[in-house]
Amino acid sequence: MVEPLPLPVPFGWFFIAYSDELTTGEVRPVHYFGRDLVLFRTEHGTPCLMDAYCPHLGAHLGHGGRVEGETLRCPFHGWAISTEGRCVDVPYAKRTPSGGDRAGAVTAHPTVERNQIIWGWYHPRGEKPTFDVVEYPEVGDPDWEPLTRYHWRFRSNPQEIAENGVDPAHFRYVHGMDAVPEGETTYDGVMRCSMVEGPHTAEDPDGSVRTYQSRVVTVQNGAGQKCTRLSGLAETLLMTLVTPIDSQEVELRFAFTRRREKPGSLEEAMGVRSIENTAAGVEDDIRIWQHKLHRVHPLLCDGDGPIPEFRRYFSNFYVETAPSSSQEA
Ligand code: FES
Ligand SMILES: [Fe+2]
């Protein structure tokens, strides 16, 4: 049995659901960040993510709760909770109990909808967002294809997955690529930007081999949002979405779009293939990630990428609390 991963759940914006997975008035239980949560969409269409348990006698609002206007009615005694987590109506009481009408009677996690995704802000101490979700104009652009989506669940954490991007040596041994791509990584606050540019040789679908200029730009925005733009023969955009279920397990999603090309063209075939190859490639990473331990003090060599620098950057997304906190508090 591998020892437990020592890293806590980082704070940041994380994928909670695709927009089209949550219809108006829909309520569902979700479990992320080591917490039981309820996700719902109000009648005006606002998505909301809250801690699951009612402040009254503790019913799970995601199991039988229903949307009424801009509130969520508890299934147990009908109390209405607003999107700020205020108790705004107790149908059988003259007065709302003291404290219940304050925002945060139930912890509501800031939620935004962008890039066809519902994002939830998680912070272990409940602090407000310190940065924003980056918008990608390609997502939903009529010149770009609808999202192609992939989904995995396995034992790991967001830091291990992101560290792959600054680990050039693994490309050869995990992904069987000849050359170790040389990239440049810069850090700016919560952003990490990596760029790799160079000639790339590939076999066309018709069997001929050609060399072209390729460019891969990755921008990470905090612990939960990463986007890779790939250009060369095909232009694709990949959103890498990692959501911690708790400190030991993650859901990983890949959401791709590609520039709309002439049907049957070489560019279209290359775009489709690039997406399929990238999605297949990450399964080789997952085989490593799910069985590895996290070395706090790894033995590194001069051929390794700038892993210590990356870890300093990522440590900004942890606060000094235990990996999981009780929801009773
Ligand atoms: S437990 Fe929610 S209203 Fe009573
Ligand atoms: Fe990889």
pLDDT, tens digit, for every residue of 297-316? Answer: 999 999 998 999 999 999 99
Take residue 292 and report the two structure tokens written for it: 């590895």
Q: Going by CA atoms, what residue is nearest to atom 1 of ligand 1?
A: 57
Q: Which ligand is nearest to the CA of 278?
A: 2
Which ligand is closest in space to the CA of residue 169? 2
For the CA of 58, the closest atom of ligand 1 is 1
Nearest CA to ligand 1 atom 4: 77
Please identify which residue in the block is written with the tokens 């695709």.
18
CA–CA separation, 218 vs 241, rounded Å? 13
Q: What are phi and psi of 19, to 5 degrees?
A: -50, -40
Atom of ligand 1 nearest to the CA of 59: 1
Contacts for 65-69: CB closer than 8 Å, 24+ residues apart: 65/27, 65/38, 65/40, 66/25, 66/27, 67/24, 67/25, 67/26, 67/27, 67/40, 67/41, 67/42, 67/43, 68/43, 69/42, 69/43
Check residue 287 and give its pLDDT: 97
What are the residue ranges of helices labelled H in 39-177?
A: 158-163, 169-175
Ligand 1 pocket mutation pick from 77, 81, 88 by most atoms within 8 angstroms of CB = 77
Say what the pLDDT of residue 1 is.
66
Instruction: Please tell me if the CB atom of residue 57 comes closer than 6 angstroms to any atom of ligand 1.
Output: yes
pLDDT of residue 205: 66
* Contact predicate 223/159, CB 8 Å: yes
Pocket test for ligand 1, best of 51, 54, 66, 68 (most atoms within 8 A of CB): 54
State the average pLDDT for the chain: 92
pLDDT value at position 237?
98
Structure tokens belonging to residue 196: 């790799």
What's the pTM value of the predicted model, to 2 decimals?
0.93
Token pair of 88, please?
């705004």
Ligand 1 atom showing the smallest separation from residue 79 Cα: 3
Asked if residue 60 has its Cβ within 6 Å of ligand 1, the reply is: no
Interval between CA 6 and ligand 2 midpoint (Å): 22
Domains annotated for the chain, with CATH where assigned, are 12-122 (2.102.10.10), 148-315 (3.90.380.10)
The pLDDT value recorded for residue 324 is 45
Work out the angle at residue 296's Cα, subtended by the Cα atoms of residues 292 and 297, and round it to the nearest 5 degrees.
Answer: 110
Residue 74: CB within 6 Å of ligand 1?
A: yes
Low-confidence ranges of the chain (pLDDT < 70): 1, 178-182, 205, 320-329
56 lines ligand 1 (CB under 6 A): yes
Question: Identity (one letter) of the amino acid at 35?
Answer: R
* Whether the Cβ atoms of residue 251 and residue 242 lie closer than 8 Å to each other: yes
Q: Please, what's the b/e burial string for 301-313 (b: 16 or more CB within 10 A of its CB; e: otherwise)?
A: eeeebbeeebeeb
Instruction: Compute, in angstroms, the gap from residue 54 CA to the centroid of ligand 2.
Output: 42
Q: In this structure, are residues 8 and 32 in contact, taking their beta carbons and an 8 Å threshold?
A: no
Per the CB < 8 A criterion, the answer to whether 200 and 277 are in contact is no
Ligand 1, atom 3, residue with closest C-alpha = 77
Residue 328 pLDDT:
42
Q: Which ligand 1 atom sits closest to the C-alpha of 57?
A: 1
Q: Is the CB of 76 under 6 A from ligand 1?
A: yes
Measured from the Cα of 54, ligand 1's closest atom is 2
Instruction: For ligand 1, pick from 63, 66, 68, 79 the residue to mutate: most ligand atoms within 8 Å of CB.
Output: 79
Distance 60 CA to ligand 1 centre (A): 9
Q: What is the pLDDT of residue 326?
A: 45
**Interval 77-132: pLDDT, tens:** 999 999 999 999 999 998 888 877 787 799 999 999 999 999 999 999 999 999 99
Looking at residue 203, its pLDDT comes to 73
Contact residues for 134 (Cβ-Cβ < 8 A; gap 6+): 219, 221, 225, 227
pLDDT of res. 172: 85
Q: Round to the nearest angstrom and report the end-to-end CA distance of the chain.
A: 31
